Chains A and B, each alone.
Chain A
Amino acid sequence: MFLGIVAVFVGMFLSLLMRIHLVWPAAVLPFLGDIKPETYLTLVTMHGTIMVFFVLTTAPQGGFGNYALPIQIGAPDMAFPVLNMLSFWITFLGFVVMVGAFFVTGGAPLHGWTGYPPLSALQSSGPGEAAGADFWGIGIALFCVGALLGGLNFITTTLDMRARGMTLMRMPLTCWAWFLTAILGLLAFGVLLAACILLLMDRNLRTSFFVPAGTINGIVTAHKGGSPLLWQHLFWFFGHPEVYIAILPSMGIVSTLLSVFSRKPVFSYKTIVYSMLTIVALSFTVWGHHMFISGMSPYSAYGFSVTTMAITVPSAVLTFCWIATLWRGKIRFTTPALFAIGFVSLFVSGGVSGPFLAQPALDIPLHDTYFVTGHFHLIMGVASMFGILGGFYYWFPKMFGKMMNETLGKLHFWFTFAGAYAIFIPMHYLGLAGYPRRYSQPEVGYLRDLMPVQRFITIAAFITIAGQLIFLCNLIWSLAKGRKATDNPWEATTLEWTTATPPPHDNFGGLTPVVHNGPYEYSVPGAPRDYVMQTDPATVTTH
């Protein structure tokens, strides 16, 4: 969890540097000097890599999942605690190696988080492509191994360690989300690992899996016959499920939060589970939509387009379930609730541009523009982050025994919410106007005219990131002086709220909970309170 927080601040810092460079290219920063165009690409790469792998993948799964999954299903710990530890340290090592890329000769790589060869596969293709790119590749490979060990633990724990009465269909939706994420990860990270091994071989053993014959900087390479497209296929076969690895845990958290804070059962539990399952299944069939501009056959583009459109169906169903959960609920607008509602808003705003990009005819002009940047940041970046923040505010009392400050929390929410829209909606506009992404400095007239928009985004980014300091202050203040939390401050029903705050070492103090109810029994007619704990015996039944 704290690794996630550190990583997110490193990533945010990098994005801030990028924004500064885009708007004031000549700015000389204290300690860091001026930013050259290649440094800009380095920042793009490392921001993307750190955010995707070490924040969006690690924080919701490794951070919350490891903590909350066992306690929510009534288990004393994860199935293999030692493996879990190993998984964490391997991930940590991966992060260290990744950040280490900044400090080797030539600096960090500049091939973007997607690492397309031949740029990424040749040592001489750029300043960061020497040792820096090796560090990048090894960092990713280590991350894969860590993530696989983690996934193994999640699946085994979910299948084998549920308490009595905790049937699969009584698990909180968070557990379903973690379980499905682990399945996705297990199938996807093996492929990324394979691709990384091939890439590292191309880089260091002079094989030609991905590198075709050609020249680099005027010198003929020792490679021939490889296919950069092969990398793209392998990478995106992992890369698209990765998007869902990032957002599924947030979907689970948000489903829970919305139900808890609107004091209503979640709308159609089974529909949510089956929608998530459908997303998992479909996510392996859509990777080609990242490659519409790679020169693929229009027929396969059509196929990928159809599957991509299909995935909007379960996504829309989920959205309707969330809205219906809120509908006519007695909503308690606490900080976690605000973040959950914010997630739904961002999920819709980021999601609607998806079907545009799913069509090859529209994707081809838009693909390399800020439109895509705006799209995926809203849905994969910020929306997932809102789920994570909501979860953090929600479980903080259970983890540390202190409540977080509500006023600061709400302030943080509004800063972040308004900021996210102020940053990413104008990016769609930039993209439609033809502003290409990953360009350090546009030298063309019509792009210069768009500079005011870029300046606006940078200022918005400054304010939003400053807003995150509120979160940090709140965190530190609450840890030191926060109001003491009761065992069940949110009046929620799931198992983690039946035990002491903070929970004893084996979660339940030697006792084993027995589950009698579903996870979202709120406002039950005839029940003594407006919620029924999962462990409460079913005393009221009307059939």
Chain B
Amino acid sequence: MATFTPTAPAHHPLTSRGIGGTLPPIAGGGDNNRPDPGLPDYRRRLRRARLGLLVILAPVLMLFVSFTSAYIVRKGLPTFDPATNSVVHDWLPVPLPTTLFLINTIVLLASSVTIERARRQIVRQAALAPVSDIPGVSLGTEREFPWLGITILLGIAFLTGQWLAWRDLADRGFFVSTGPSSSFFYLLTGAHAVHLLGGVLALLIAGSTVILRRPLESRRIVVDVTAWYWHFMALLWIYIFALLEFAR
């Protein structure tokens, strides 16, 4: 028969709900016995939001992994042609609008840099916020460079560039249903654009928190999480570009 031993040794004081004495701080989710000095609330929210983002990137990745596997399988697939009674490959390489894509890539990478600046800027603002209340201290009140706005503009510029690329392809007679390669072209760029649009919307929400007078911390969390998401989208775009270019 088992004797009463805790399944994992407890290293913290034996305080418990309902037994007198002070209650432990509310913080400390997932602590694994780590002593928790009661983090400020928004630090905890930030950590949670970052974790949530990391988790949600997994299915996004899986989505594009699935598309890629379908792409590779479909590309190598022979098809029966009833006209010639033989097995042929129906994969027509799409003429990529490479110059436009390169410009778009540069725009997106630039936006990745600006959003990182925006993220650091807001980290600084959040850190200085308590100090700025002290009379005579003018830290952090200088007019800030609008990195966030620039990022939104660059994001929209990228999306417009993608739209131009679609138009370019359509002008050359490659529509969604023209062939498997053009289907994948629209699918991959479209799916990426939808995801990036989500990022732009998140930034617009972050921007509007200024107008809505939401706390700086909320804004910081949105900007921080969106920045990581944005970097991921930039990497994803480079991957898609490479896939379309090198596995044509």
Interface residues of A, Cβ cutoff 8 Å to B: 75, 79-80, 83, 148, 151-153, 155-156, 158-165, 167-170, 186-191, 193-195, 197-198, 201, 205-209, 212-213, 222, 224-227, 230, 233-234, 237, 265, 269, 498, 508, 511-514, 516-518, 521, 523-527, 532, 535-538, 540-543
Contact = CB atoms under 8 A, between A and B. Distances in A.
Interface in B47-99: 47-48, 51-52, 55-56, 58-63, 65-67, 69-70, 73-74, 77, 79-82, 90
From A207, A527, A543, residue with most partner B Cβ within 10 Å: A207
B30 to A, nearest CB: 5
Contact of B16 (A156, A170, A516, A525): A516
Contacts of A265: 2
Interface string B190-227: 01000000000000000000000000000000000000
A517 B7 CA distance: 6
A511 B4 CA distance: 26
Contact of A169 (B7, B55, B177): B7
A485 to B, nearest CB: 20
10 contacts: A168-B32, A187-B62, A205-B177, A206-B177, A207-B180, A212-B79, A226-B74, A269-B7, A524-B3, A524-B4
A240 B192 CA distance: 27
B70 A234 contact: yes
B1 A525 contact: yes
B14 interface: yes
A533 to B, nearest CB: 9
Contact of B73 (A201, A227, A514, A541): A227
A58 B193 CA distance: 30
From B28, B80, B176, residue with most partner A Cβ within 10 Å: B28
A155 B56 CA distance: 10
From A80, A186, A222, A498, residue with most partner B Cβ within 10 Å: A186
A478 to B, nearest CB: 29
B245 interface: no
A230 B72 CA distance: 11
Contacts of B67: 194
Contacts, number: 195
A527 B4 CA distance: 7
A186 B6 contact: no
Chain B at the A interface: mostly helix, strand, loop or mixed? loop
A511 B23 contact: yes
A189 B17 CA distance: 40
B24 A512 contact: yes
B180 A225 contact: yes
B5 interface: yes
Contacts of A222: 177
A229 to B, nearest CB: 9
Contacts of A189: 59
Contact of B48 (A160, A206, A213, A536): A160
Contacts of A540: 4
Given A225-B79, A265-B2, A532-B4, A164 B31 contact: yes
Contacts of B1: 523, 525
A233 to B, nearest CB: 8
Given A194-B67, A535-B17, A542-B5, 9 more contacts: A169-B8, A197-B187, A201-B176, A209-B70, A212-B79, A234-B70, A525-B1, A525-B3, A543-B5
Given A512-B23, A537-B19, A198 B70 contact: yes
A495 B125 CA distance: 40
A538 B10 contact: yes
Contact of B66 (A79, A194, A512): A194
A223 to B, nearest CB: 9
B52 A152 contact: yes
B12 interface: yes
B194 to A, nearest CB: 10
Interface residues of B, number: 57
Interface of B: 1-8, 10, 12, 14-19, 23-24, 26, 28-33, 36, 47-48, 51-52, 55-56, 58-63, 65-67, 69-70, 73-74, 77, 79-82, 90, 176-177, 180, 183, 187, 191
Contact of B17 (A148, A169, A508): A508
Given A162-B31, A164-B36, A511-B17, A213 B80 contact: yes
Given A162-B29, A191-B62, A152 B56 contact: yes
B76 to A, nearest CB: 10
A526 B3 CA distance: 8
A159 B7 contact: no
B55 A155 contact: yes
Contacts of B7: 169-170, 269, 517-518
Contacts of A164: 12, 24, 28, 31, 36
Nearest to B35: A164
Contact of A521 (B4, B15, B19, B62): B4
B59 A190 contact: yes
Nearest to A524: B4
Contacts of B14: 516, 537-538
Contact of A542 (B3, B59, B187): B3
Given A159-B30, A213-B82, A234-B66, A516 B10 contact: yes
For the complex of A and B, 5 pairs with smallest distance between CB atoms: A518-B7, A190-B62, A190-B59, A194-B66, A225-B79
A525 B1 CA distance: 8
A191 B66 contact: yes
A159 B4 contact: no
Given A212-B79, A516-B14, A194 B3 contact: no
A325 B232 CA distance: 47
B52 A156 contact: yes
A230 B75 CA distance: 12
Given A190-B61, A517-B7, A535-B16, A167 B33 contact: yes
A157 to B, nearest CB: 8
Contacts of A518: 6-8
A161 B30 contact: yes
Given A224-B90, A512-B23, A186 B59 contact: yes
A79 B56 CA distance: 14
